[in-house]
Amino acid sequence: MAAPTVQALGLTKVYAGQTVVDGIELAVFPGECFGLLGPNGAGKTTTLRMLLGQTPPDAGRLTVLNHRIPEDARDMRARVGLVPQQDNLDPDFTVLENLRVYASYFGLSGPVLQRRIDELLGFVQLEAKAQAGIGTLSGGMKRRLTLARALINQPDLLILDEPTTGLDPQARQIIWQRLRSLLAQGKTLILTTHYMEEAERLCDRVAIMDHGRILACGSPHALIKQYIEPHVLEVYGPEVETWQDDVARQHARRTERVGETVFCYAEDEGALLDDLRQRPQLRFMHRPGNLEDVFLKLTGRELRE
Amino acid sequence: MMFHPPVVSLRWIPVWRRNFLVWRKLLGPALLGNFGEPLLYLLALGYGLGSFVGEVGGLPYGVFLAAGIVCGSAMNTATFEGLYSAYTRMAHQQTWGGMLATPLSVDDIVLGEMIWAGTKSLLSVAPILLVAALLGLVHSWAALWVLPVVLLAGVCFGALALVVTALAKSYDFFLYYFTLIVTPMFLFSGVFFPLDGMPIAVQWGAQVLPLTHAIAIVRPLMTGQPLPHLLPHLLVLLAYGAVAFYLAIGLLRRRLLA
């Protein structure tokens, strides 16, 4: 197997006595899309900041694109693109000026840059907006511009911190398409997201983090198979608790009640479905297990603030 | 690790250039502010007060005041840039955050920002100098040497302001700096009146203020009076600039990279 693009061994970060990232092991390989999933405060963004050399680890070893981090972070960042969680486009510049000025931070200029900018504006479908001010762009356009900006230095590794948060479904679809196309070009992607279906669609492998630790790591398919029964029924309606105690527990390996809904995780769905068809007052949805089930099983259902 | 020596390279240039390009786009209001206010001081105080005061330190009051306004304007412009504008780039627009995802470092950003603050001082002082000359308030071609001195003073005041910005939690924090440092300096560095008439303690106290030393160089250059020994005055400005540069980098590394 090729040398990893990112390798972290025992990576640790402590803020004011609190261990935010707790000795994680991470290997991301060239050409893969790797997802970092976790509730708010799990340590995802801190992990990304350490990868970028923007904050030094308190313990552990870290290499990114064969550069020791943080010692060699400047050279590494010349080969990495970042789509940050918070929009930081320059509001005083147009779309074109944003790309040109950002390129100057990498020492890029001239006709080669101009060609690259034209290509990138085409890639993110913003050709018509080249002269537009940032204030006139929609949220989706801003994200696409941020993506184009992150590609200005032709990075080998692209890091995306919640790339589709706050976007409408259309805008999200375009971002997904563009990311797939980057993967097809052989780029390595690391992304964080709260949307499990996004991770399931895009990522070759995901790591689920909580409280600064990696709880599980693998392909979405393998994790679902490992942690979740093949059939999931979500059942709700009057007296669903009684049904859970009397019927569901017999036929499902696990059941769980959340508010008014009973989740049944079963190897075989037949008996449950037969029973539910006799009870028109109960409504249900039958679906395969998914990454969100894995996520909730591992990190719990409590609300994180 | 946060206070290791600065790593200096030419990478400050793109930081400086980004600010210059924004300034060029917003040229109108920027020039009006930098240029209009000192001009009003020159006209109102120079002529208004000047007609009562007559001569000050052997000079017509307007001539005396012009050098003070040039230096005061250099200080205020660089200070404003290093406080409000830099804070906006750091905290609200996340411009520095964007730069830190590229090969630029905190050291490059601080150096670029302080040289930019000095450049803005220059951009605001040059038209004032021209207007003062047209009003007959400049008595020597040596006044052109004011420009590099103003650049140095602006870099120094910009670096001092960046130290305050590095510690600020909000814009309100800057009022401490203005009330406790900038305004007293504006009033007690010899901008509006010579220090000779002040109590000896005030005269000595004024020697601590960098603005006093900028004025000590700029006033003779503009009025054609004999120059003092330049080196001590330049050294004071350089020392303030260097210490503030070192402190601003350390504090901003702690703030942005911790």
Q: Which of the residues A54, A92, A113 would you substitute to probe the B interface, choosing the one with the greatest number of B C-beta atoms within 10 Å?
A: A92
CA angle A105, A106, A110 (to 5 degrees): 95
With beta carbons less than 8 A apart as the criterion, state whether B202 and B224 touch: no
Residues of chain B neighbouring A56 (CB-CB closer than 8 A): 1, 257
Which residue in the set B25, B26, B94 is minimally distant from A86, CB to CB?
B94
Query: For residue A202, which amino acid is it?
Result: L
From the list B142, B140, B145, B146, the residue with the least C-alpha distance to B125 is: B146
Q: Closest residue of B to A155, CA-based?
A: B102
Give the residues across from A216 on adjacent strands.
A208
Predicted pLDDT of residue B37: 78
Nearest CA distance, A52 vs chain B (angstrom):
7
Instruction: Give DSSP secondary structure letters for B110-158.
Output: HHHHHHHHHHHHHHHHHHHHHHHHHTT----GGGGGHHHHHHHHHHHHH
Record the tokens describing residue B60, joined without a space: 């017509």
- B105 vs B246: CA distance, rounded Å: 14
The 10 Å CB-count burial string (b at 16+, else e) for B189-216 is bbbbbebeeeeeeebeebeebbbbbbbb
Sequential pLDDT tens for chain B (258 residues): 567 888 899 999 999 999 999 999 888 887 787 678 778 888 888 888 888 888 888 899 999 999 999 999 999 999 999 999 999 999 999 999 999 999 999 999 999 999 999 999 999 899 899 989 988 999 999 999 999 999 999 999 999 999 999 999 999 999 999 999 999 999 999 999 999 888 999 999 999 999 999 999 999 999 999 998 999 999 999 999 999 999 999 999 999 998
Facing residues of A82 across strands? A159
* Contact residues, chain B, for A57 at CB < 8 Å: none
At B1 the pLDDT is 53
Considering only CB atoms, which chain B residues are within 8 Å of A106? 102-103
> Which of A105, A113, A131, A145 is the best residue to mutate to test the B interface, defined by the most B CB atoms within 10 Å of its own CB?
A105
Complex prediction ipTM: 0.92
On whether residue B194 sits in a domain, the answer given is yes
The verdict on a CB contact (< 8 Å) between A55 and B258 is: yes
Q: Which residue has the tokens 């008014």?
A: A260
**Number of structural domains chain B divides into:** 1
Domain of B127 in residue numbering reads as 12-257
What is the nearest CA distance from A88 to chain B, expressed in angstroms? 5
In a domain, B4, yes or no: no
A77 touches chain B (CB under 8 A): yes
Cβ atoms within 10 Å of A159's Cβ, excluding its own: 26
Q: Is B24 helix (H, G, I), strand (E, B) or coil?
A: helix
Q: Please name the member of B1, B103, B257 whose beta carbon is closest to the beta carbon of A54.
A: B257
Query: Residue B5 domain-assigned?
Result: no
Taking any CB pair shorter than 8 Å as contact, residues of chain B touching chain A are 1, 14, 17-18, 21-22, 25-26, 93-95, 97-105, 256-258
**CA-based nearest residue in chain A for residue B22:** A92
Task: Locate A261 and state its tokens.
Answer: 């809904």
pLDDT of residue A120: 97
Q: Test A88 with B97 for CB contact under 8 angstroms.
A: yes
Closest residue in B to A58 (Cα–Cα) = B258
Q: Which residue of B lies nearest to A104 if distances are taken between CA atoms?
A: B14
Distance CA A217, CA B112 (A): 43
Specify if B6 maps to a domain. Answer: no
CA distance B176 to chain A (A): 28
Q: Determine, yes or no, domain membership for B251.
A: yes
- Is residue B2 included in any domain, yes or no? no
> Quick check: A106 and B103 CB within 8 A?
yes
Residue B52: burial class (beta carbons within 10 Å; 0-12, 13-18, 19+): exposed
Q: How far is B249 from chain A (nearest CA, A)?
A: 15
Distance set, CA B54 to CA A5, B45, B49, B192, B256 (Å): 75, 12, 8, 13, 53
In a domain, B1, yes or no: no
Best of B17, B102, B107, B109 to disrupt the A interface (most A CBs within 10 Å) is B102
B199: closest CA of chain A, how far (Å): 49
Any chain B CB within 8 A of the CB of A301? Answer: no
Chain B contact probe: residue of A45, A74, A75, A98 with most B CBs at under 10 A: A74
Instruction: Give the nearest chain B residue to A55 (CA atoms).
Output: B257
Compute the nearest-CA separation of B21 from chain A (Å): 9
Q: How many residues does chain A have?
A: 305
pLDDT in tens, chain A (305 residues): 678 999 999 999 999 889 999 999 999 999 999 999 999 889 999 999 999 999 999 999 999 999 999 999 999 999 999 999 988 999 999 999 999 999 999 999 999 999 999 999 999 999 999 999 999 999 999 999 999 999 999 999 999 999 999 899 999 999 999 999 999 999 999 999 989 999 999 999 999 999 999 999 999 999 999 999 999 999 998 888 899 998 888 899 999 998 889 999 999 989 999 999 999 999 999 999 999 999 999 988 777 76
B93: nearest CB among A56, A78, A91:
A91
Domain annotation covers residue B150: yes
Cα–Cα distance, B182 to B175 (Å, whole number): 10
Tally C-beta pairs within 8 A across A and B: 65
| Chain B, nearest residue to A75 by Cα | B103
Query: Would you call A88 and B98 a contact, using CB atoms and an 8 Å cutoff?
Result: yes
In degrees and rounded to multiples of 5, residue B94 shows phi and psi of 55, 30
Instruction: Give the pLDDT of residue B141.
Output: 92
At B68, which helix (H) or strand (E)?
helix B61-80
Q: What is the pLDDT of residue B107?
A: 96
